[in-house]
Structure 1
Amino acid sequence: MDLLYEKEETSLVYHSSTSLAASILVSSYIITVPKQLWEFPILPWVKMVTNKEEKEVVELVGYILAHVLYSYPSLTL
């Protein structure tokens, strides 16, 4: 969960702990469940449970997935 301990610029994105939790849940679902098995309506369920707008959750999910999947450690020589 290094997402919670990032730089100041990324912490500004996480203005709501509920949105962050919902987005981490959706991101985890996307990463761990094979696409062929995506039967559970995760976004409508998250919206119902958290009362957060789907757009807000989707934006954070995109940010989280980009951070997790496309972050490369910097090389220092």
Structure 2
Amino acid sequence: MDGEEILTYEAAGARLEAIIARLDSGEAGLRETLDLCREGRTLVEFCATELEAVGQGLEELRLDELVARLESGSAAA
């Protein structure tokens, strides 16, 4: 990946697929296999962090929605 390119979840997933395909091909040498495994681990960790952040954001939205419902319910009472 280019140093100036911003990594996205989708780009990381696509790169992981390419890494898996290369490893599955059996054509990668020992050093390349090690490098691909290291890169893959970094990408998996990035994706996990992104998913966690999105999950937290969704949870916050649900809490905001719940608070809004409670507030509107108590205002109507």
Which protein shows a greater Rg? Answer: 2
- Give 1 or 2: higher helix fraction: 2
TM bin (shorter chain): 0.3 to 0.5
Structure-1-length-normalised TM-score: 0.34
